[in-house]
Amino acid sequence: MTMSKLEESEALHARARAFVAAFGRGEPMPEAFDALARDLADFQARWNAGYARLRAARGEAIPAVPTEVFKLARVSVFDEGETPVVFRTSGTTAAARGAHWFRTCATYDAASVAMGRVALGVSERVPVLVLGPPPAEQPDSSLVHMMARFVEAFGTAASVDETYFVRDGVMDLVALDERVTRLLMSSVRDTVVLATSLAYVHLLDALGGAKFRMPDRTRAMQTGGFKTLTRSVDGSALRRDVARAFCIDESAVVSEYGMTELSSQFWETSFVGGERNVWVEPPWARVVPVDPETLAPVANGATGIARIEDLANVDSAVAIVTADQVRRAGRGFELLGRSAGAPPRGCSIATEEMLGP
C-alpha cells in the first residue's frame, strides 16, 4: 500500500529519532546512516520539485542544498499551511533572511537535547541560566528554541525570570547576580549557562574585568558569531575571558556549532574529556569537507567547505552546503572560518560586495 506524504514523513521521522534514542541508550545505531540519508533524499525529491531539479542538475543521489537557497525558495516538502513552525536566519531585512519550516519539531527537539546533554555533561537536572530572551520573545530563532528545550529537558524548576536574563535586548545583570548568589548560597555545584558569543561579550563588557564567580561545576555554552558587533573579537580570547570571569576551567566553556538550516548541532566535548576546538557530530549527522568548486569530498585532513548531512532534517534538506571552511580532525572537525574564495578580478562586482557586510 502506498503511504501518503504525511505517513512517509512520520515514518522517516521515527527512523531518525531511532538514531537519537539509540545514542541516548548508548546502543548501536539502528540502521546504516547512508540508507536513511538516501531514503530522505528520495522523499524530498519526490515531494519538492526544487530538490528534484537539483538532483537532476548535479546528477547526484544526495546533492547538497546551498544555504542561500533557504533565502530564495521554500525548502520543505510541505506547504506553508502544514508547517506551523518557522525558524529564520539572522538579518536585518525579511528578504535577506532565510527560513526553515517545520511540520513538527519533535525530531529537532530530541536530537538537540540528546547531543547537548552529552556535550554539557548533564546526567541529572541542573540549574540552567540563559543569557538570552525567553522563546516567546523570539519565536522564530532556532537558537532560542533550542535553549528553551534544554531548560525544559534538564533544567531544575525555576521561573522564566530566574532563567532568561535578556529582555528586549537588555541583559538584566541584577537578576542574574541574584540567581547566582542564591545558587552559591545553597551550595549548588552544577550549573549550565547558555549564551551566544555576543551575549558573553556584553556581559564581559559590563563586568569591566571583574570576576562573576559561578558554581564550580558550571559549564558555559558559547555559540554563534559576532555579526552585529562593530569590533573584532577572537573566539579563543573570549573563551579565556569567560572562564576567568566565571572562575571555571577553559575546558568548561564549550562551543556549539549549529545553524538555522539544520536540525542537529555539533559540539566541542572538552567538558567531558574531548579536544578543544574540535566539534563532534552526533551519529545522525556528519560534516564532510568538500572542494568548493566541485563539491566533491576532499582528501582526509584537507580543508574544504562544509557539506553537512543531517538525518534530522527530514522534511527539508538532508544535505546542505555552507561557506564555512572545515577540516576533519580527531573525532570531529575543526572550524576554520568562512570561505572567501579568491578575490574577483577588477571592477566586476562580487555578490558579497553588493550585499554588503
Partner 1 sequence: MSGAADVRALLAAAARVARDPAIVDALVSSTGLSRENVELSLAAHLELDAPDAEIDSLVAGAGRAESVHVVLSASVFVAPLRAIALALAASDRVTVHASRREPVFARALVAALGDPRVRLVEERVVDAAEIHVYGRAETIASVRRAAGPRSIVRGHGPGLGVALVSGDFARAASLLAEDVTAFDQRGCLSPRVAYVVGDAHAFARAAADALEARAALFPRGALDPGEATDLARWTSTAAYAGTLHRGAASAVAVLDADALPPSGRHLLVRPLDSPASFLSVLGALGPFVTTVGTNLALDPVPHVRLCALGAMQRPPFDGPVDRRPPT
Question: Between 11 and 73, whose beta carbon lies closer to partner 1?
Answer: 73
Q: Select 301 or 343, whichever has its Cβ closest to partner 1.
A: 343
C-alpha span between 212 and 287 (Å, rounded): 36
Query: In whole angstroms, how close is the CB of 306 to partner 1 at the nearest point?
Result: 13
User: Nine-digit cell at 194?
Assistant: 547558555
The cell for 296 is: 566533491
Element (H, E) at 168: none
Contacts with 157 (C-beta within 8 Å, 6 or more apart), sequence order: none
List all residues 6 or more positions away from 102 whose beta carbon is below 8 Å from its beta carbon: 83, 84, 85, 86, 87, 108, 315, 316
Cβ-based nearer residue to partner 1, 280 or 288:
288
> Binding residues for partner 1, per CB under 8 A?
50-51, 53-54, 56-58, 63-66, 68-69, 71-73, 75, 292-295, 321, 323, 339, 341-351, 353-355
CB of 105 to partner 1, least distance (A): 24
Min dist. Cβ of residue 5 to partner 1 (A) = 19
282 vs 304 by CB, closer to partner 1: 304
Judged by CB, which is closer to partner 1: 97, or 167? 97
Residues 6+ apart with CB under 8 A from 83: 76, 101, 102, 103, 315
Beta bridge partners of 170: 167
237 or 347: whose CB is closer to partner 1? 347
**Nearest to 219, CA basis, from 117, 146, 329, 144:** 117
Phi/psi of residue 334, nearest 5 degrees: -100, 145
- Nearest to partner 1 of 71, 328 (CB atom): 71
Non-local CB neighbours of 251 within 8 Å, separated by 6+ positions: 270, 271, 276
Minimum Å gap between C-beta 54 and partner 1 is 4
* Smallest distance, partner 1 to C-beta of residue 263, A: 19
b/e map 315-331, b = 16+ CB within 10 Å: bbbbbbbbbbbbbbeee
**Min CB(64)–partner 1 separation in Å:** 7
Least distance from partner 1 to the Cβ atom of residue 90, Å? 18
